[in-house]
Amino acid sequence: MNTLKRLAGWIWMALAPAAVWLLANTAHSEIARNPTIDTRIQWTVFILVFIPIAFGLLLFGWFAWKGEYDRLPESSAEVAED
């Protein structure tokens, strides 16, 4: 299972920049198709909101790849001990 978690970490790390790239390409094509200020503002907000989400996805993948999730606590008492 730990190997699967680490493999998923690579997938999450690859997915984050790919999603930002896809969103930026979509924004570029939508703005080129309808170059009004409303469209520019809408896609700028979408990108600015999604970048921190993608960064969190990248961090999640990094921690999974480094093995931070190999041993998960089974009770609240174990969390308090750390």
Under DSSP, the state recorded for 12 is H
- pLDDT given for residue 80 in this prediction: 73
Q: Are 61 and 13 in contact (CB under 8 A)?
A: yes
- pLDDT given for residue 60 in this prediction: 93
- pLDDT given for residue 81 in this prediction: 63
How does pLDDT run along the chain (82 residues), one tens digit per residue? 888 888 999 999 999 999 999 999 999 999 999 999 999 999 999 999 999 999 999 999 999 998 887 777 777 777 776 5
Which pair of structure tokens corresponds to residue 75? 């009770």
Handedness of CA 60, 58, 15, 40 (dihedral sign): positive
